[in-house]
């Protein structure tokens, strides 16, 4: 079975290279714009009423993958599916960003953690009652999440 996706747009950010990018939107104060292709602009209707959106994107600069990786917040090898590392079999990333404003086919967002010109595959509204689980366990990340973390060159 072959599956393929066509990007619906791109995100424009200040991050031109992988090193120094915030490792999660929660640790970023950086803004950006999501430019949606004009043929998909009508699909943005009613999005402005949400404060956060989920961006599904392609790690377009990822080179291959490994089933075990040393994630940013650890020095121990972990299974790639127990991490959010970019070198994944399908190069798909997910980020929740703050939606600041919608202008035609341009979304102004903050909390970006993506490289400039990252292809956007889909957008979904973040819904607190659907997407937040207060009893969620955090596995090996428990006690490691503090803030201010930036990427280094470990994923090439």
**In the structure, what pLDDT confidence band is assigned to residue 19 with cuts at 50, 70 and 90?**
confident
What CATH number matches the domain at 11-59+89-127, 3.20.20.100, 3.90.220.20, 2.40.30.70, 3.30.365.10? 2.40.30.70
3-state SS, 34-47, equals EEECHHHHHHHCCH
d(Cα 109, Cα 34) in Å, to the nearest integer? 7
Q: What is the pLDDT of residues 72-119, one digit of tens each?
A: 777 899 999 998 888 899 999 999 999 999 999 999 999 998 999 999
Where exactly are the structural domains of the chain?
11-59+89-127
- What's this model's pTM, rounded to 2 decimal places? 0.86
């Amino acid at each position: 079975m072959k599956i393929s996706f066509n990007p619906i747009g791109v995100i424009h950010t200040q991050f031109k290279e992988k090193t120094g990018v915030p490792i999660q939107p929660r640790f970023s104060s950086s803004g950006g714009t999501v430019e949606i292709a004009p043929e998909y602009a009508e699909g943005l209707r009613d999005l402005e009423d949400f404060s956060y959106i989920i961006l599904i994107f392609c790690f377009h600069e990822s080179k291959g993958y490994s089933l075990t990786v040393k994630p940013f917040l650890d020095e121990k090898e972990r299974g790639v599916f127990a991490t959010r590392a970019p070198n994944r079999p399908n190069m798909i990333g997910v980020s929740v960003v703050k939606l600041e404003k919608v202008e035609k086919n341009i979304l102004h967002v903050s909390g970006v953690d993506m490289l400039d010109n990252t292809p956007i595959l889909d957008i979904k509204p973040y819904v607190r009652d659907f997407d937040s689980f207060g009893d969620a366990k955090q596995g090996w990340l428990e006690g490691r999440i503090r803030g201010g973390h930036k990427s280094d060159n470990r994923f090439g």
